[in-house]
Amino acid sequence: MKQTTKMASVFLIPLFCLLFSPSSAEIAAKPGVNYGQLGNNLPPPYRSVELIKSLKAARVKIYDTNPKILQALKHTGIQVSVMVRNEIITAIASNQTLADEWVTSNVVPFYPQTMIRYVLVGNEILSLPDNVTWFNLVPAMRRIRKSLKLFKLNKIKVGTPLAIDCLEASFPPSSGKFRSTVTDSVITPLLQFINRTKSFFFIDVYTYFAWVSDPVNIKLGYALLEPNVSSYTDPVSGLTYTNLLDQMLDALYFAMKRVGYPDTRLFIAETGWPNGGDVDQIGANIYNAAVYNRNVIKKFTEKPLRGTPLKPRVVLPSFIFALYNENQKTGPGTERHFGLLYPNGSNIYEIDLSGKTSEFTKKLPVPTNNEPYKGKIWCMAERGANAMVLGGALSYACGQGNGTCDPIQPGGKCFKPDSLRWHASYAFSSYWAQFRKSGGSCYFNGLGVQTTEDPSFGSCKFPSVTL
């Protein structure tokens, strides 16, 4: 009996593949979009789903299980990826009841009308300083999968998106190697889990950040996937690379091969390019963002398949980051400018995630910041900021360094005009001028804006950063 079953399945598997792989490969190739919600000015879920459809996205990834979004995605035919929040991973890792409850309240009520296909456990866990969560990651994934099976949700795969910093070596690509501190404890069990459950290794990969770290030696066009820019041949593997994305992905394939899982499938959980940023950031503009995302979509949807030099025939399913520019993301200005759309829902540039459109009609604005800015920059307080919050930031800035705010004391050269915004702008500029070298920023929780226009007047001179 057992023997028969086994023979039957041996026979059936290839037939199944034969019948279904062309169509499933086609679906798999269509890029999706990451629907981040860190903005206080974003359209509601129903409108957002309309916009996602207008971008022709085949799938969408959210960073939680927002029930309004999952509701709005019902009967749309869009494949959905949901996420278990980082904060509950450790609790779930040791508690099956909790895992079952999570699936009961976040997946079961929406499935199958909402086509949930992936449950991602945490976001870039190995990039967090808290290493307790690192070691609970795979145990939590196992529990979530066990719950999904309990509810017979067998089509839903479990994964976890990692950032490219899971690698400690990536150049040349053939030297690709996972961080040794996590290889045995996290990566190997993860790859084992992925293999056993036929899931994917989800990776967030940005050529932008790699290029920014070395714009002198890496050509911009190579990072933007422009054709015929330059090529690099890996001296060990002999493989030739014509763009930075392939190079980064192959480094990951080589790292997986090194620990015994050469055939793990990759899923690009995030990739993209910022359409704007701060004065002291380079290459973040609408032109480059449009070129990168259009090239990436073209690559991912091309037929015949165009994988990477190491895996030329392997489909690369993907999510572009992100749907909107998100004004509540912290950090440098680029963080708030990865959107395909402005918060009012209009396109920042023309884009078609299905890959069917390759000629776009509207002219893109000529980039002006592909070279580092040279000159002075000041840090001004945003107009219309909440007075109490701005007052707090002003006190903070004045409390740092030596004599940071002396000129805005009564009788000082910059005391007048005696307004909160003016004083805060002085304090921000003075703080930033002293601390930029040691990592200080002009962010101030979104209250600071970089400017190249000197606010000084008369005998009041604002300190500046000189690049």
Ligand X SMILES: *[C@@H]1O[C@H](CO)[C@@H](O)[C@H](O)[C@H]1NC(C)=O
Q: Which residues are catalytic?
A: 124, 270
CB 266 within 8 A of CB 201: yes
* DSSP bridge pairs for 60: 33, 80
Find the shortest distance in angstroms from Cβ 126 to ligand X: 11
* Cα dihedral: 109, 111, 112, 116 (round 10): 150
Beta bridge partners of 326: none
Q: How far is the CB of 241 from ligand X (least distance, A)?
A: 15
**Angle between helices 131-150 and 188-197 in degrees, nearest 10:** 10
For ligand X, the closer of residues 182 and 393 by Cβ is: 182
Q: State the Cα–Cα distance between residues 354 and 352, nearest whole angstrom.
A: 5
Cα separation, 82 vs 91, in Å, equals 18
Task: Give the residue with the Cβ less far from ligand X, 114 or 133.
Answer: 133
Cα separations in angstroms, 202 against 39, 252, 338: 25, 11, 19
Identity of residue 99: A
Q: Are 377 and 370 within 8 A, CB to CB? A: no
Side chain identity at residue 407, one-letter code: P
Helix axis angle, 131-150 to 96-106, nearest 10°? 60
Please report, as a single letter, which amino acid is at residue 188.
T
Given the complex with ligand X, which of 213 and 228 has the nearer CB atom? 228
In whole angstroms, give the CA distance from residue 356 to residue 462: 52
Q: How near is the Cβ of 198 to ligand X at its closest, in Å?
A: 5
| Shortest CB 123 distance to ligand X, Å | 20
Q: Which is nearer to ligand X, 227 or 458 (CB)?
A: 227
Binding site for ligand X (CB under 6 A): 95, 97-98, 101, 131, 181, 195, 198, 227-228, 263-264, 342, 344, 346, 401-402, 434
In the complex, least distance from residue 192 CB atom to ligand X, rounded to whole angstroms: 9
Give the CA distances from residue 264 to residues 155, 206, 258, 315, 390, in Å, rounded to whole numbers and listed in that order.
18, 20, 12, 12, 50
Smallest separation (angstroms) from ligand X to the CB of 266: 11
Cβ proximity to ligand X: between 90 and 237 the closer is: 90
Q: Are 327 and 337 in contact (CB under 8 A)?
A: no
Of 119, 15, 32, 91, the C-alpha closest to 323 is 32
The least CB distance from residue 314 to ligand X, in Å, is 11
- Assess contact for 112 and 71: CB atoms under 8 A: no
- CB nearer to ligand X: give 438 or 459: 438
Closer CB to ligand X, 198 or 303, in the complex: 198
